[in-house]
Chain A
Amino acid sequence: MTKTAYNTAELVTVMSARALDDGKIVFGGAGMPLISCILAQKTHAPGLTILFEGGLIGPHIEAGKFPPSTTEQRCARRANMLLSITDILLLQQRGYVDYGFLGGAQIDQYGNLNSSFIGDPDKPKVRLPGTGGANDIASLASKILVAMHHEKKRFVEKVDFITTPGYLQGGDSREKAGLTVGGVYQVITHLGIFGFDKETRRMCIQALHPGVDIEEVKERTGFELIIPDDLPRTEPPSQEEIRILRELDPDKRYTTPKEE
């Protein structure tokens, strides 16, 4: 078999697509999450239904014309249904959404994400955009997928503010707060795939991507990861996956690795 060349953003996109099962319903965000969803539809999951925060069900998106935002008119031109935002988010509250797909500026060992601020809320040191629908998605979808570039400053022991709830303070704190469903299912980075320990709810590594050394993962993580003795490796992206991906995003607008 010939080896397929791919960059780290393409790797994360392919691994994210593989996490989405056929016949399920996914809440996709603009950029990489959306491309993963379409890639999944074009490979193993033709029956995947995509929802967007703006109120949209079943967008028909053309290769090479990916919308810069999932809440703009390019998405609404051809779609199965347009709902109000209240209605689409309430579909989640009623349990119809299998996967929520999020990115984040900062994640901690319990899978909590921060996209609000760092420092004092009255006069923060750093001010980020805020939650949007991320808090709703992470509170209400059955399985949360988080896709991020793996950097030490993004993988912190404790986030300054929990914009988006993962397992909160670990253990059963998520359930105790009233969040009886969901939780972070997988964190997918350019180094590997991560999950959470069933008891402590601390982040553990589930699989390493091809060619990645566990030492690099440790170096780039700002807290202690649970590492099992027997650590599997993911299958590298196939030629077919990379071919479809490049057809979808020919200018690599959404599949160019972020600079560090």
Chain B
Amino acid sequence: MQEGKKANMSKDNKLMSMSEAIDRYVADGDVLYLGGFIQQEPFAAAHEIIRQGKRDLTVSKCAALILVDQMIGAGVISHLITTFTWNPLPATAHCFVRALTKHAPRKVEIEEYSILALNLAYFAGALDLPYVATKTMLGSGFDWEQSNSGVKNRLKFEESPFTGERVCLVPPIKHDVGIMQVQRSDPYGNAQAWGMLGEVRYGLQSCEKLIICAEEIVDTDIVIRDPNRTLVPAFRVSAVVKEPWGSHPAPMAGYYDMDWPYNAYYEKETRTEELFREFMKKWVYGIRDRKDYLKLLGQDRLEALRPERFESDPVSYGRLTTHFGVPHA
């Protein structure tokens, strides 16, 4: 187990199965960051967390969609840090609503921020700052100094010592473990991602341990030829899991589309606690791993989600022909 800010070895092969990664690096009571802003969500990892029966997790996710809804319904989350929670159809996230309005299956404490405030909290966490000042959230119901709305968050509202203007102070949010599904990684954890990356850069940097789930495992040579695309370097990564289709039903740019009919199916099949239990029996508890899950979905369905290739023009980083002005031998 990694302790504190100890770096991981850049040259350790960290490939392992999802069950091993979750077992080794996620503990009961952990503060978890789940990456992916609507796309690239770590569904396979979340399902394994549920199967292993982890308890009392604090989950922080900028856009909490049905992945978080499932974790709430399964009772593994006790504290949720987020900006909004719904089914992206858009429709109601039923487990979320049941947990908040009826405390079923358990009460979930909710700590809510706007997207900018939460991103700045990740930023402060990533940079190890005591706080960041911003001009959002003022005056609204989240500004508890003004509104007495009863909403709980860790924001403070102060006058700037420099200009005297009223500002919102955002505390750092740090995480024990971060999990993200990316397009590709080498076996050491040099992970590359593209598309809408949302909040993930600072989200991942605010975590002590990282589990990288990848559609493909590639040679380091592929990574080093395009270093601009690397999201996290190997020394920050504890585990690398090869998990194709690991974000379904969320999309993965270049690999698969969002499965909109599945989101509609989820909405219908989770309207009651009983229905939700049946749903989870089929898609999570009753199967061993992601391979079983993909068999349940069926090859035809997966193929239908696959996009045509749409490549950007390659860029050249340049291979220089001289060194200190002297032509290479």
Cβ proximity bits B113-149 to A, threshold 8 Å, 1 near / 0 not: 1111101101100000000001111111111001101
What is the CA–CA distance of A116 and B82 in the complex, to the nearest angstrom? 12
Q: A55-B198, A82-B197 are in contact. Are A132 and B258 (CB under 8 A)?
A: no
* Chain A residues with CB below 8 A from B167, complex form: 178
On whether the beta carbons of A123 and B100 are closer than 8 Å, the reply is yes
* Of B83-91, B212-220, B292-300, the one touching chain A: B83-91
Q: A130-B82, A139-B136, A177-B139 are in contact. Are A121 and B151 (CB under 8 A)?
A: yes
CB-nearest residue of chain A relative to B252? Answer: A73
Interface residues of A in 50-81 (CB under 8 A from B): 53-56, 68-69, 71-73, 75-77
CB distance from B41 to the nearest CB of A (A): 12
**Interface-central residue, B119, B122, B141, B258, by most chain A CB under 10 Å:** B141
* Of A83-91, A195-203, A207-215, the one touching chain B: A83-91
On whether the beta carbons of B136 and A136 are closer than 8 Å, the reply is yes
Cβ proximity bits A80-111 to B, threshold 8 Å, 1 near / 0 not: 00101110011011000000000000000000
On whether the beta carbons of B136 and A129 are closer than 8 Å, the reply is no
Cβ proximity bits B77-121 to A, threshold 8 Å, 1 near / 0 not: 000001111101110010011001111000000001111110110
On whether the beta carbons of A131 and B84 are closer than 8 Å, the reply is yes
- Is B166 interfacial (CB 8 A cutoff)? yes
On whether the beta carbons of B253 and A130 are closer than 8 Å, the reply is no
What is the CA–CA distance of A53 and B167 in the complex, to the nearest angstrom? 22
* Chain A residues with CB below 8 A from B253, complex form: 73, 76
What is the CA–CA distance of A125 and B114 in the complex, to the nearest angstrom? 22
* Chain B residues with CB below 8 A from A238, complex form: none
On whether the beta carbons of A133 and B116 are closer than 8 Å, the reply is yes
What is the CA–CA distance of A76 and B88 in the complex, to the nearest angstrom? 17
On whether the beta carbons of A140 and B135 are closer than 8 Å, the reply is yes
What is the CA–CA distance of A92 and B135 in the complex, to the nearest angstrom? 10
* Chain A residues with CB below 8 A from B101, complex form: 123-127
Interface residues on B, range: 35 or more
* Chain A residues with CB below 8 A from B201, complex form: 84
On whether the beta carbons of A86 and B199 are closer than 8 Å, the reply is yes
On whether the beta carbons of A139 and B198 are closer than 8 Å, the reply is no
Q: A129-B86, A174-B139, A177-B146 are in contact. Are A86 and B202 (CB under 8 A)?
A: yes
Q: A76-B253, A129-B86 are in contact. Are A85 and B135 (CB under 8 A)?
A: no
Interface of A: prevailing SS: loop
What is the CA–CA distance of A112 and B143 in the complex, to the nearest angstrom? 14
* Chain A residues with CB below 8 A from B161, complex form: none
On whether the beta carbons of A72 and B139 are closer than 8 Å, the reply is no
Interface residues on A, range: 35 or more
* Chain B residues with CB below 8 A from A115, complex form: 84
* Chain B residues with CB below 8 A from A86, complex form: 116, 119-120, 122-123, 199, 202
- Is A185 interfacial (CB 8 A cutoff)? no
- Is A165 interfacial (CB 8 A cutoff)? yes
- Is B251 interfacial (CB 8 A cutoff)? yes
On whether the beta carbons of A53 and B258 are closer than 8 Å, the reply is no
What is the CA–CA distance of A130 and B142 in the complex, to the nearest angstrom? 11
* Chain A residues with CB below 8 A from B195, complex form: 73, 76, 82
Interface residues of A in 166-202 (CB under 8 A from B): 168, 173-174, 177-180
- Is A135 interfacial (CB 8 A cutoff)? yes
* Of A8-16, A156-164, A226-234, A244-252, the one touching chain B: A156-164
12 contacts between A and B (CB under 8 A): A68-B89, A69-B38, A71-B37, A73-B257, A85-B37, A93-B116, A136-B137, A163-B140, A173-B139, A178-B165, A179-B139, A180-B165
Q: A73-B195, A84-B201, A121-B149 are in contact. List 18 more A-B contacts (CB 8 A).
A: A69-B90, A71-B63, A73-B196, A84-B199, A86-B202, A112-B140, A121-B152, A124-B100, A124-B101, A129-B90, A130-B83, A130-B85, A131-B113, A135-B136, A139-B139, A140-B135, A163-B140, A168-B139
